[in-house]
Amino acid sequence: MKRTPLALLNLIHDRKKFLTSMAGVAFAVLLMFLFTGFKNALYDSQTQLLKRLNGEIVIINRLKENMFVPRAFARRRLYQAQAFDGVEGAYAIYISDARWKNPETKKTRPVRVIAYNPSDPVLTMPEVLARQQALRQPNTAMLDERSRAEIGPRETGVITELAEREIRIVGTFSLGTDFASGNGNLIMSDQNFLRFFANRGPEEDKRSFATADIGLLRVTPGTDIDALVQALRDGLPQDVLVLPMNGPEGFIARERAYWEVNTNIGFVFSLLTTMGFVVGIILVYQILYTDVADHWSEYATLKAIGYDNTYLFGVVIQEAIILSVLGFIPGLLISALFYNLGAAVTGLLFQMTLQRVVNIYVMTFVMCLISGAVAVRKVQRTDPAEVFGL
């Protein structure tokens, strides 16, 4: 036999009030999940293309500070890099913005075109590998099915105009948008890239195979990547930057850090998350305070018959913890729903990792604890002598 679970029984005694309380906590949890979700989605999305690039080392123009900067580098650097020990393959990736005409509304929208030689294993998503041959046909491309709805139907067989030239969609893949991608992404072969971008209008940059936007190096297994990066930095001219793909100093981390440092995303959404946290504190405080006020004479009686403040403190804190758990679960489920919805609408990457779920739970727990600690003062001030003569 154990102690009577007074905290739990008090909480669930009034079903309607209990559900309202749970909804209150769930709401605060939802707010925190949404705002951290947006923040993380904006950050995570910036690197989702980079994470799919199939290589260990990246070569870019020294001035390409982030993916938004359209600076190309001389492709011969890739041939030079190929001469280094441990470099198995060096692939050029060409990137350009272009105007895509929505086949239904005839409105044009900017999209990003990612091009490479289909023989090179640059993007290894199965749907892309399966369409390698189709990509070799002239004036074809694959369309990102997670592009924004503004560009029209995202399906195979669409025929429309890209950069004022007819294009045929021969397949779709799943990537998602980011700040640099405009409304969506296209993958095409390097030959088609030339067809579209070698002879653009007088105002636009002409592209050729002389320059590439991203150079992707694959290394032979067992190569010391850091040493190879160092060797490339020493050996190649200083107009290019050589970065490992992963790691704290890597290409992916650099891209993410750029958006973290140079935008207000972090500040704005952290502020909103804090607001959710504060709203939660107030809601939970109201719930616990009402419970204490409603049961004031019962708690005073407990004090009169010999329970001390520590016990009453324990009861209120237990109620806070129970609320944090029971409110968190529905909050988490609803948030997961909103994450899916958000990902579908915006094309951004909403990830609910275990680490993030744990973080939000810890915040919820602290939130309930603070409210409990404030509400408990009411019980502790209770003078048991006042129960008499009421």
Partner 1 sequence: MSSALPIASGSPPDVPTTSTEASIQVRNLSYFFGRGDLRKQVLFDISLDLYPGQIVIMTGPSGSGKTTLLTLIGALRSATEGSLRVLGQELVGLGSRQLVEIRRNIGFIFQAHNLFESLTAAQNVEMAVELTGNFRGKRQQAVDILSQVGLAERADYKPAALSGGQKQRVAIARALVNQPQLILADEPTAALDKQSGRDVVTLMQQLAQEKGCTILMVTHDNRILDVADRIINLVDGRLESDASPQQYADAHAPKSLDQKMFMM
Q: Is the Cβ of residue 66 or residue 301 nearer to partner 1 in the bound state?
A: 301
**What residues make contact with partner 1 under the rule CB under 8 A?**
1-4, 6, 9-10, 12-13, 295, 297-298, 300-308, 383-385, 387-390
Distance CA 182, CA 148 (A): 9
Q: Is the Cβ of residue 16 or residue 126 nearer to partner 1 in the bound state?
A: 16
Q: Is the Cβ of residue 6 or residue 67 nearer to partner 1 in the bound state?
A: 6
Please state the closest distance from residue 317 (CB atom) to partner 1, in A. 17
Please state the closest distance from residue 296 (CB atom) to partner 1, in A. 10
Please state the closest distance from residue 5 (CB atom) to partner 1, in A. 9
Q: Is the Cβ of residue 158 or residue 312 nearer to partner 1 in the bound state?
A: 312
Distance CA 73, CA 184 (A): 24
Name the strand (E) or helix (H) holding 242.
strand 240-244
DSSP-assigned beta bridge partners for residue 136? none
Q: Is the Cβ of residue 271 or residue 385 nearer to partner 1 in the bound state?
A: 385
Q: Is the Cβ of residue 10 or residue 48 nearer to partner 1 in the bound state?
A: 10
- DSSP E strands in 62-191: the ranges are 73-74, 87-101, 108-116, 140-144, 159-162, 165-173, 185-189
Please state the closest distance from residue 364 (CB atom) to partner 1, in A. 24
Identity of the residue numbered 176 = G
Three-state DSSP state, 147: coil
| Residue 297 CA: distances (Å) to CA of 4, 12, 281, 300, 316 | 18, 19, 25, 5, 15
Three-state DSSP state, 221: coil
Token representation of residue 116: 């490479």
Please state the closest distance from residue 324 (CB atom) to partner 1, in A. 20
Q: Is the Cβ of residue 6 or residue 219 nearer to partner 1 in the bound state?
A: 6
Name 32's Cβ contacts closer than 8 Å, sequence gap at least 6.
273, 276, 277, 280, 360, 363, 364
CA-CA-CA-CA dihedral for 119, 88, 252, 238, to nearest 10? -110
Please state the closest distance from residue 11 (CB atom) to partner 1, in A. 8
Please state the closest distance from residue 1 (CB atom) to partner 1, in A. 5
